[in-house]
């Protein structure tokens, strides 16, 4: 009988023991292949021809996915190998040569890897259509999805995973050479020394995390005193280092304090639970800290992508407040536009339309912090549009803004990029709007400002008294921009294309864009970008969540196997099944809860910090992300408790 056939028989006879590792490999292959199948899908490649965002998003995410699944499989292999050390030691004790044992382990791993590859690609092929439909829906693409298995995805997946499988197989081969016989038989008893606590290191961990949290909350104020990259880097490093120290020292400090609380420690099974956690925390600290950081990164990435997707309409509406805006250059153009609107009135009836007359000037804003950046300039030159107070107030209701009441030397600013009180926003109120009118220079005190634009063409507007406007109108040319709102603008592709074709072609792309802009194009371009970002965020988030949950699951089952004899003794001294279950639930609950809670806290402060540079509605998307993440994580907890109890209670 050959070694390969012995390896196959071993897999068949011990499949129950091999199942977790086998399932981990299949899961990793399914996720990676599905992702690559989407990237190489002919329909997505066609869509990506006009969008570098799509192809770039897939390529960057593929690299992250490769690294993560490689680490996950290698970790799973380590768990599987540890369980087999005693078996390998037995083979050696029976006189089988090390070379033969190594070859057998190599063949076993290669066979499982190849079977996983075939099964993973088969399952991934079926799932890829479902994921493609989801992606197309999120991006708002008009595609008829058909079933397709790209050969490039198969080749890519096969190459990547053959390298990983070969590496893990070689690790299996080297197992018999890396450990002495006594070490193989006592593998389960490794790393059980009482950890040494350090109050100083525990306090440092709390300080580092607290300082990172504080700076993330005060980010807009902190960047006034230090470069924003230095502040961001400190927050990142302090939080990561603090998390590792928290699990290595602060948890030990808490558990030792619990041990000294005699009334609680000697109550029921707490003595077993606390002691088990205390002795095992040293071996778990690094992996739990890594899981907490991964959870934070996952929740932050998912929360950010969901926030952007959730706010797509609001974001586009901020720079395109109307369905269409165009510069009314002559009566012929207006007739063409009206004729097109009549043609499409069944699908997209006009709900609102009005004109704004303006005078373009190149002027200055002078005063305190009038620039967009952090330079705090006291003077900045900009092109803006003057609008008369009376004309503005006549159409204020149609624009859904308040009428303005200005003194003879006052002005009011409408800037789509303005955010009141924001660190990276210019300050207008109390500063001066200075602009030429013929040979005269006019300086008006800015009474106030609002963060919105009055057309889709991206202009900055300054509302001025009628007398000032009439003086400017006498010496400068005026522009008239027409704003139009239609019903069901999100689906106005045909109407938008007709109007765009009717517009006169300017001397360049910039001029063309300034003379016409629509809501539909901006909305669908942003929907594609945010939809892709959310899909990738959710996809990678799901992979990270399932993998980190599996890592804790594997680690706890390893500990359950090592603790089996202890629980047999406990049963003999009269501990009931219910008491055992409660003790296991507490012990496993601590291991699951700490990284989850730390990860959620990190993500909450990270997203709070992001809100200072990305002022969007984050509460609802964040609660949704945390809710779904927690539900799946809690599901892993109950599965682990059940499996742990089955192992320690088996007779």
Lowest mean pLDDT segment, chosen from 267-271, 329-333, 479-483:
267-271
Separation CA 340–CA 344 (nearest Å) = 6
In the predicted structure, residue 614 carries a pLDDT above the cut 70: no
> Tell me, what's the pLDDT at 156?
93
Separation CA 132–CA 25 (nearest Å) = 23
In the predicted structure, residue 468 carries a pLDDT above the cut 90: yes
What value does the mean pLDDT take over residues 574-583?
82
In the predicted structure, residue 297 carries a pLDDT above the cut 80: yes
> Tell me, what's the pLDDT at 121?
94
620 or 184: whose pLDDT is higher?
620
509 or 488: whose pLDDT is higher?
488
**Backbone φ/ψ region at 619: left (φ over 0), alpha (ψ -120 to 50), beta:** alpha
Lowest mean pLDDT segment, chosen from 92-96, 172-176, 373-377:
373-377
Percentage of the chain lying above the pLDDT 90 cut: 29
Residue 122 buriedness (CB in 10 A; 0-12 / 13-18 / 19+) = middle
What value does the mean pLDDT take over residues 594-617?
82
**Could you say which DSSP state residue 267 is in?**
S
Lowest mean pLDDT segment, chosen from 149-158, 374-383, 404-413:
374-383
Instruction: For residue range 417-427, list pLDDT tens digits in order.
Output: 887 766 667 88
> Tell me, what's the pLDDT at 20?
75
Question: Where does the pLDDT of residue 92 fall: very low under 50, low under 70, confident under 90, or very high at 90 and above?
Answer: low
Question: Where does the pLDDT of residue 14 fall: very low under 50, low under 70, confident under 90, or very high at 90 and above?
Answer: low
> Tell me, what's the pLDDT at 388?
95
> Tell me, what's the pLDDT at 86?
62
What value does the mean pLDDT take over residues 501-513?
59
Instruction: For residue range 192-201, list pLDDT tens digits in order.
Output: 555 666 788 8
> Tell me, what's the pLDDT at 105?
76
- Asked whether 464 and 435 are in contact (CB, 8 A), the reply is no
Q: What separation in angstroms does the CA of 318 have from each of 128, 312, 350, 458, 463?
A: 36, 10, 20, 10, 19
In the predicted structure, residue 402 carries a pLDDT above the cut 50: yes
Instruction: For residue range 195-250, list pLDDT tens digits in order.
Output: 666 788 889 999 999 999 988 888 767 766 777 778 888 888 999 999 999 988 88
What value does the mean pLDDT take over residues 435-444?
90
Pair type for strands 379-388 and 461-464? parallel
């Amino acid at each position: 009988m050959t070694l390969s056939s012995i390896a196959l028989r071993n897999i068949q006879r011990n499949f129950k023991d091999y199942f977790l590792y086998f399932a981990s490999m299949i899961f990793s292959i399914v996720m990676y292949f599905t992702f690559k199948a989407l990237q190489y899908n002919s329909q997505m490649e066609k869509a990506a021809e006009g969008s570098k965002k799509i192809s770039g998003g897939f390529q960057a995410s593929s690299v992250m996915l490769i690294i993560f699944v490689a680490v996950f499989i290698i970790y799973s292999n380590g768990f599987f190998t540890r369980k087999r050390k005693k078996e390998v030691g037995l083979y050696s004790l029976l006189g089988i040569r090390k070379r033969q044992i190594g070859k057998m382990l190599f063949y076993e791993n290669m066979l499982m890897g190849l079977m996983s590859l075939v099964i993973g690609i088969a399952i991934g092929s079926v799932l890829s259509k479902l994921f493609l439909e989801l992606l197309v829906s999120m991006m708002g693409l008009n595609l008829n999805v058909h079933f397709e298995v790209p050969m490039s995805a198969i080749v890519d997946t096969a190459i990547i995973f053959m390298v990983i499988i070969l590496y893990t197989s070689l690790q299996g081969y080297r197992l018999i050479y890396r450990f002495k016989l006594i070490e193989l038989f006592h593998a389960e008893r490794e790393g059980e020394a009482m950890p040494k606590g350090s109050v100083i290191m525990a306090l440092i961990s709390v300080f580092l995390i607290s300082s990172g949290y504080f700076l993330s909350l005060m980010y807009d104020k902190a960047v006034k005193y230090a470069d924003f990259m230095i502040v961001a880097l400190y927050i990142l490093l302090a939080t990561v280092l603090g998390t590792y120290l928290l699990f290595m020292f602060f948890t030990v400090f808490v558990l030792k304090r619990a041990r000294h609380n005699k009334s609680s420690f000697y109550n029921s099974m707490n003595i077993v639970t606390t002691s088990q956690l205390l002795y095992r925390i040293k071996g778990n600290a690094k992996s739990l800290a890594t899981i907490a950081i991964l959870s934070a990164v996952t929740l932050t990435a998912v929360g950010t992508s969901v926030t952007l997707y959730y706010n797509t309409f609001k974001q586009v509406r901020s720079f395109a407040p109307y369905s269409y805006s165009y510069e009314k250059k002559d009566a012929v153009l207006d007739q063409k536009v009206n004729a097109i609107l009549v043609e499409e009135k069944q699908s997209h009836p006009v709900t609102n339309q009005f004109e704004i007359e303006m005078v373009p000037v190149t002027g200055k804003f002078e005063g305190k912090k009038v620039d967009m950046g952090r330079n705090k300039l006291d003077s900045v030159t900009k092109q803006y549009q003057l609008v008369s107070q009376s004309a503005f107030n006549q159409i204020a209701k149609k624009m859904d803004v308040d009428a303005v009441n200005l003194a003879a030397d006052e002005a009011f600013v409408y800037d789509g990029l303005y955010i009141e009180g924001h660190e990276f926003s210019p300050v207008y109120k109390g500063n001066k709007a200075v602009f030429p009118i013929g040979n005269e220079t006019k300086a008006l005190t800015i009474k106030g400002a609002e963060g919105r634009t009055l057309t889709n063409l991206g202009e900055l507007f300054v509302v001025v008294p009628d007398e000032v406007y009439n003086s400017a109108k006498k010496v400068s040319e005026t522009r008239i921009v027409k704003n139009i709102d239609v019903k069901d603008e999100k689906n106005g592709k045909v109407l938008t294309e007709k109007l765009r074709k009717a517009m006169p072609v300017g001397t360049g792309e910039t001029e063309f864009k300034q003379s016409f802009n629509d809501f539909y194009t901006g909305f669908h371009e942003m929907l594609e970008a945010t939809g892709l970002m959310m899909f990738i965020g959710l996809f990678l988030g799901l992979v990270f969540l399932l993998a980190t949950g599996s890592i804790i699951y594997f680690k706890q089952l390893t500990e359950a196997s090592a603790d089996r004899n202890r629980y047999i003794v406990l049963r003999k001294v009269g501990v009931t099944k219910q008491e055992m279950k409660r003790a296991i639930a507490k012990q496993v609950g601590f291991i699951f809860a700490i990284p989850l809670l730390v990860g959620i806290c990190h993500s909450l402060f990270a997203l709070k910090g992001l809100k200072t540079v990305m002022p969007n509605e984050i509460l609802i998307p964040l609660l949704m992300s945390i809710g779904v993440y927690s539900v799946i994580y809690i599901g892993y907890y109950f599965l682990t408790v059940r499996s742990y109890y089955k192992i320690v209670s088996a007779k």
